[in-house]
Amino acid sequence: MIEFRQVSKRFPDGTLAVEDFSLVIPSRKTTVFVGSSGCGKTTILRMINRMIDRTAGSIEIDGEDIVGLDRVKLRRRIGYVMQNSGLLPHRKVVDNVATVPLLNGVPKREAHARALELLDTVGLDRALANRYPSQLSGGQQQRVGVARGLAADPNILLMDEPFGAVDPLVRAELQHELIRLQRELDKTVVFVTHDIDEAFLLGDQVVILQKGGVIVQKGSPTEILTAPANEFVADFIGATKGKRALHIDRRDGRDVVLDSEGRAAGVLVEGSAGTGEEVPT
Ligand SMILES: Nc1ncnc2c1ncn2[C@@H]1O[C@H](COP(=O)(O)OP(=O)(O)OP(=O)(O)O)[C@@H](O)[C@H]1O
């Protein structure tokens, strides 16, 4: 579990990017931060592995304040995947994936064998292992980025708009791949996106943020869809404009979750509003 307690971040130039942010991120679930540009998503994410240090409050991982942990070791035990894959262009795919284990002292042969297994895990052909990142498609590069994030077998995986730069079809493929992976790997995933549909698809817990990292609403997708906290959320999730991909409709006396084509994605169990409980239809 990751716990933020009244965390703030003021950058040296005076910008207060995050103010008084408190949140519990449960283990082995996916928590998604969603909000418009500049609201503090990346700053909050990067404070978890101390790429950015908070200026007030505390952040604990499994009850331990991260301020007392070695920054480099902390970073190496937390997976990190970013938008443009962040791969080293002059290193082959296999070496990119093996980077952190090698830094952690894993022998080269072992690190490479593990890297090849990880290519399988993220659905990439091992034949790509000896290519350079520029010889891969955008979607393939993102998969390599995910494999690299998983290489040290971290309990926590931070993902900052990892699918933001790929086309919509590849993006949908990668999203479903992540859902599959998460079922298999059971990590604590913290995911940042601008895209509310992506947030609802991937998140067990969705956190809607406004400027300064202010939490406007948090809850399961069902909780947010059934009871948007205010007009900002209703507008953000498109509830007022009929543009939402996922929405709730009442059919035969039951609340049914429908996708954009009107197909039922689930039924809210009677009396479950507020618990996030859903049953498949
Ligand atoms: N190094 C920095 N120095 C000063 N201000 C910064 C710095 N990094 C970020 N900020 C500011 O902090 C605020 C939050 O930035 P952050 O990158 O966390 O937002 P975000 O929600 O991730 O945005 P985006 O979706 O555009 O990536 C913004 O106002 C940004 O300009």
User: Model pTM greater than 0.95?
Assistant: no
Is 60 exceeded by the pLDDT of residue 280? Answer: no
C-alpha of residue 85 to centroid of ligand 1, in Å: 19
- In angstroms, the CA 124 to CA 116 distance is 9
Q: What is the mean pLDDT of the chain?
A: 88
75 φ/ψ angles, rounded to the nearest 5 degrees: -65, -35
In angstroms, the CA 198 to CA 195 distance is 5
Ligand 1, atom 1, residue with closest C-alpha: 11
Q: Pick 113 or 168 by higher pLDDT.
A: 113
Indicate the range of 47-56, 67-76, 149-158, 244-253 predicted with least confidence.
244-253
CA distance 39 to 18: 8
pLDDT tens digit string along 122-165?
Answer: 999 999 999 999 999 999 999 999 999 999 889 999 999 998 87
Domains parsed from the chain with CATH numbers: 2-236 (3.40.50.300), 246-281 (no CATH)
CB 267 within 8 A of CB 256: yes
pLDDT confidence bin for 268, thresholds 50/70/90:
low
φ/ψ of residue 216, rounded to 5: -85, -40
Ligand 1 centroid to Cα of residue 212, in Å, is 9
Q: What is the distance in A from the centroid of ligand 1 to the CA of 77?
A: 24
Ligand 1 within 6 A of 207 CB? no
Q: What is the pLDDT of residue 277?
A: 44
CA 232 to ligand 1 centroid distance, Å: 21
11 lines ligand 1 (CB under 6 A): yes
User: In which band, very low, low, confident or very high, does the pLDDT at 51 lie, cut at 50, 70 and 90?
Assistant: very high
ipTM comes to 0.97
Residue with tokens 């239809």: 281
Q: Is 9 in the pocket of ligand 1 (CB under 6 A)?
A: no
For residues 281 and 266, the answer to whether their CB atoms sit within 8 Å is yes
Residue 42 in contact with ligand 1 by CB distance below 6 A: yes
Three-state DSSP string of the chain? CEEEEEEEEECCCCCEEEEEEEEEECCCCEEEEEECCCCCHHHHHHHHCCCCCCCEEEEEECCEEHHHCCHHHHHHCEEEEECCCCCCCCCCHHHHHHHHHHHCCCCHHHHHHHHHHHHHHCCCCHHHHHCCHHHCCHHHHHHHHHHHHHCCCCCEEEEECCCCCCCHHHHHHHHHHHHHHHHHHCCEEEEEECCHHHHHHHCCEEEEEECCCEEEEEECHHHHHHCCCCHHHHHHCCCCCCCCCCEEEEECCEEEEECCCCCEEEEECCCCCCCCCEECC
CB 223 within 8 A of CB 276: yes
Question: b/e string for 84-119 if b means 16 or more Cβ within 10 A?
Answer: ebbbeeeebbbbbbbbbbbeeebeeeebbebbbebb
**Cβ count near 130 (within 10 Å):** 11
